[in-house]
């Protein structure tokens, strides 16, 4: 339809290759996953409520199905309940209606998905939003790589500090037991002690960097991508019902077809509103995510640079100043768990 329903969204046709011969198309590894996603949410028949006295009665007669399991439906020796047959019939009708609606929706979405994949149909594309979503996914992959490397660096530094601490203790012990080399063992023990102290400060900074980056990647970005998935599912439903409406609009008009056309128009409008709402939600979340990402990473990258530079320059004062600047506190020596060990 070309009636300006989508605002900035554009609809494009994807031509099929090889004259419609699906056998010559390359295998699409994502097709099976997409079909599973369409089928994943079946009808929920456990939260159904029915109307007493028949399907479509007054609101005062609503009875949850969970309360029926231990009463009318499972008491063969109880006295007959007035209207019991109508009650059971109402449950069956309502659940059948739920299954019917879910099946129709799944069929339409699966048909639309296959049509898009084989180039026989059209899909609604918001080019600007799609580019932003793809950029977010690429950014998340790169940030996950940084996070993995930062964790590896933290683990290596932790091992180094354990070795330096053990070496310093060995030097200190030998300083007490070797009078002829007491001075030499002593200043080596002191050097290892100072290196461990600086290493603990650096490790505290690295753990702060890892924790903050992990929150950004696996909470903030994942929350936005969850909304993106909902938007993509709504887009598929919207296009499925749009295609259905277009096909019915071209069919011969009679009383039956006009009735189906009115129903299709109603379904299309409902899915259009859902799609446009989620499209707006994704746009807002992407904007706030970008602002949050810049703010968080500006702080974390500054911390990472200052801490690494001060550590390898041997500048203990600057390293401790970096920790104070970002309000990073280390546990005092002798604590049960060293402050720089963060549970992952």
pLDDT at 80: 53
pLDDT value at 12 more than 60: no
Tell me the C-alpha to C-alpha distance, in Å, between residue 263 and each of 1, 100, 109, 124, 250. 17, 15, 17, 22, 15
Q: pLDDT band for position 51 (50/70/90)? A: very low
The whole-number pLDDT of residue 133 equals 96
Grade residue 27 by pLDDT with cuts at 50, 70 and 90. Answer: very low
- Checking phi first, is residue 32 left (phi over 0); if not, alpha (psi -120 to 50) or beta? alpha
- Tens of pLDDT, residue by residue over 271-308, are 999 999 999 999 999 999 999 999 999 999 999 999 99
Conformation bin of residue 122: beta by default, left when phi > 0, alpha when psi is -120 to 50:
beta
**What pLDDT shows up at residue 147?**
96
- The reported pLDDT for the residue numbered 141 is 97
Residue 82 vs residue 66, higher pLDDT:
82
Integer angstrom CA distances of residue 122 from 10, 116, 275: 10, 6, 16
In the predicted structure, residue 257 carries a pLDDT above the cut 90: no
pLDDT given at position 22: 39
Domain boundaries, the chain: 105-154+205-314
Return the CATH superfamily for domain 105-154+205-314: Arfaptin homology (AH) domain/BAR domain (1.20.1270.60)
Q: If DSSP codes are grouped into helix, strand and coil, which group holds residue 123?
A: strand
DSSP-assigned states of every residue in 191-211: HHHHHHHHHHHHHHHHHHHHH
pLDDT higher for 15 or 135? 135
Stretch 27-40: mean pLDDT? 56
| In the predicted structure, residue 5 carries a pLDDT above the cut 90 | no
Percent of the chain with pLDDT over 70: 71
- Residues 263, 281, 232, 94: is their CA dihedral positive or negative? negative
Inter-residue contact 221 to 136 (CB < 8 Å):
yes
For residue 124, list its beta bridge partners.
Answer: 11
Instruction: Supply the pLDDT for residue 329.
Output: 75
Confidence of residue 250 (pLDDT cuts 50, 70, 90): confident
Asked if residue 189 has pLDDT above 70, the reply is yes
Q: Are 278 and 234 in contact (CB under 8 A)?
A: yes
Question: For tokens 């974390």, what's the residue?
Answer: 300
User: In the predicted model, is pLDDT for residue 53 greater than 70?
Assistant: no
Tracing tokens 């990258």 back to the chain, one arrives at 301
Least confident window among 4-8, 89-93, 222-226: 4-8
């Amino acid at each position: 339809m070309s009636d300006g329903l989508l605002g900035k969204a554009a609809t494009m046709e994807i031509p099929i290759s090889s004259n419609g011969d699906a056998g010559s198309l390359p295998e699409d590894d994502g097709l099976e996953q997409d079909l599973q996603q369409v089928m994943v949410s079946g009808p929920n028949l456990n939260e159904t409520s029915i109307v007493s006295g028949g399907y479509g009665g007054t609101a005062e007669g609503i009875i949850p199905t969970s309360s029926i399991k231990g009463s009318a439906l499972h008491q063969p020796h109880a006295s007959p309940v007035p209207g019991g047959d109508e009650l059971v019939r109402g449950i069956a009708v309502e659940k059948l209606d739920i299954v019917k609606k879910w099946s129709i929706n799944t069929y339409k979405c699966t048909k639309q998905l296959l049509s898009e994949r084989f180039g026989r149909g059209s899909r609604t594309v918001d080019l600007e939003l799609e580019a932003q979503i793809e950029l977010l996914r690429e950014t998340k992959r790169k940030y996950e790589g940084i996070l993995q490397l930062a964790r590896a660096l933290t683990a290596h530094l932790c091992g180094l500090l354990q070795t330096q601490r053990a070496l310093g203790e060995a030097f200190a012990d030998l300083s007490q037991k070797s009078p002829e080399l007491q001075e030499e063992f002593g200043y080596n023990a002191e050097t290892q002690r100072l290196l461990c102290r600086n290493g603990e400060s650096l490790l505290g900074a690295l753990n702060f960097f890892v924790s903050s980056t992990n929150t950004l990647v696996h909470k903030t970005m994942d929350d936005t991508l969850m909304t993106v998935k909902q938007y993509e599912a709504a887009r598929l439903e919207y296009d499925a019902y749009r295609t259905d409406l277009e096909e019915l609009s071209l069919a011969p008009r009679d009383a039956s077809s006009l009735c189906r056309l009115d129903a299709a128009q109603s379904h299309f409008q409902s899915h259009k509103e859902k799609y446009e709402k989620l499209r707006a939600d994704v746009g807002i979340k992407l904007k706030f995510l970008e602002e949050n990402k810049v703010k968080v990473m500006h702080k974390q990258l500054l911390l990472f640079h200052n801490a690494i530079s001060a550590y390898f320059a041997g500048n203990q004062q600057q390293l401790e100043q970096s920790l104070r600047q970002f309000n990073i506190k280390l546990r005092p020596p002798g604590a049960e768990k060293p402050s720089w060990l963060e549970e992952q």
